[in-house]
């Protein structure tokens, strides 16, 4: 298993399994179980996904030793704040049936995330979390968080795929020693990703699927990926990417697909902030 080393020395698998939009408890449990059987060791969930309990059951059912696993979950906006973060963390830990979390992320840069970060710093120092980080933070908010707190986030998990390559954020994260992690590496198939002429041509060249090429393109740039699939054959396929190395010409060809725009939501749009701020999740 290839890994990256975070800014606190903790090693993290470069490929994991994400469970966003797998709300059905039994399906989620079974899929995570199959992912663990296939060799995945990084599992990424969130309180807002409402499937932490299913993930916890799959972990227990798998029989994989805790030392081999790297489990990530996230704090939703409604629980941001010092005291509420500690309560939310305890609830997530219980649902996951764990005594320690490998990574805890602030899911969105809204609400009292400064209070949340102070609580997370304490939980980290007390040994309840091996690393702490953020998700969906733009460089300005991330720098503000760094300047006014003691611990630099280990990770920023952001939308990253061939059509949104995050060139500015990527350079900033590298400069700050923060690991870049991709969510939605396949852009949920938008912009006809799986039939894109450039990607299909490269896939044929290496006898791989478009999904495998996208994941290899990302991991070759040291970006952590968390692809999701509820189909066993696809999750096995997505894990089988390290037997090829894309040429510099192919990497450059994929680089031309970048639009620099989100295919989901503009995190700096006031209406998006308003919408997410009012989004309450039954967790």
Dihedral sign of CA atoms 261, 265, 271, 274 in order: negative
DSSP 224: E
User: Which residue from 266, 211, 217, 264 is spatially nearest to 239, judged by alpha carbons?
Assistant: 211
> What residues have CB less than 8 Å from 229, skipping those under 6 apart?
31, 235, 238
Which one of the listed residues 33, 40, 49, 124 is annotated catalytic? 49
User: CA-to-CA distance for 204 and 44, rounded, in angstroms?
Assistant: 30
- 170 in helix, strand or coil? helix
Dihedral sign of CA atoms 257, 263, 267, 271 in order: positive
- 266 in helix, strand or coil? coil
CB-facing half-sphere around the CA of 39: CA atoms within 13 A? 12
User: CA-to-CA distance for 122 and 85, rounded, in angstroms?
Assistant: 11
Catalytic, 114? Answer: no
* Residues designated catalytic: 49
């Amino acid at each position: 298993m290839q890994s990256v080393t975070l800014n606190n020395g903790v090693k993290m698998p470069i490929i994991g399994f994400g469970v966003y939009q797998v709300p059905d408890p039994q399906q989620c449990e079974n899929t995570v179980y199959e992912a663990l059987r296939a060799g995945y060791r990084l599992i990424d969930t969130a309180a807002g996904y409402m499937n932490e309990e299913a993930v916890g059951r799959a972990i227990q059912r798998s029989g994989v030793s805790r030392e081999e696993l790297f489990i990530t979950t996230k704090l939703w906006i409604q629980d941001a704040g010092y005291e509420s973060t500690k309560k939310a963390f305890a609830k997530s830990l219980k649902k996951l049936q764990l005594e320690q979390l490998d990574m805890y992320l602030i899911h969105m840069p809204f609400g009292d995330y400064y209070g949340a970060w102070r609580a997370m710093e304490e939980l980290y120092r007390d040994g309840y979390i091996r690393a702490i980080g953020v998700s969906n933070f733009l460089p300005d908010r991330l720098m503000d968080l760094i300047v006014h707190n003691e611990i630099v986030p280990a990770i920023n998990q952001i939308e990253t795929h061939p059509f949104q390559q995050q060139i500015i954020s990527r350079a900033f994260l590298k400069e700050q020693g923060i690991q870049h992690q991709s969510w939605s590496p396949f852009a949920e198939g938008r912009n006809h990703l799986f039939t894109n002429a450039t990607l299909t041509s490269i896939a044929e060249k290496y006898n791989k699927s478009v999904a495998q090429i996208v994941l290899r393109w990302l991991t070759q740039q040291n970006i952590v990926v968390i692809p999701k699939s509820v189909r066993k054959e696809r999750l096995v396929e997505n894990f089988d990417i390290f037997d090829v190395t894309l040429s510099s010409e192919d990497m450059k060809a994929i680089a031309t697909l970048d639009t620099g725009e989100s295919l989901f939501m503009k995190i700096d749009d006031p209406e998006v902030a308003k919408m997410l701020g009012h989004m309450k999740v039954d967790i």
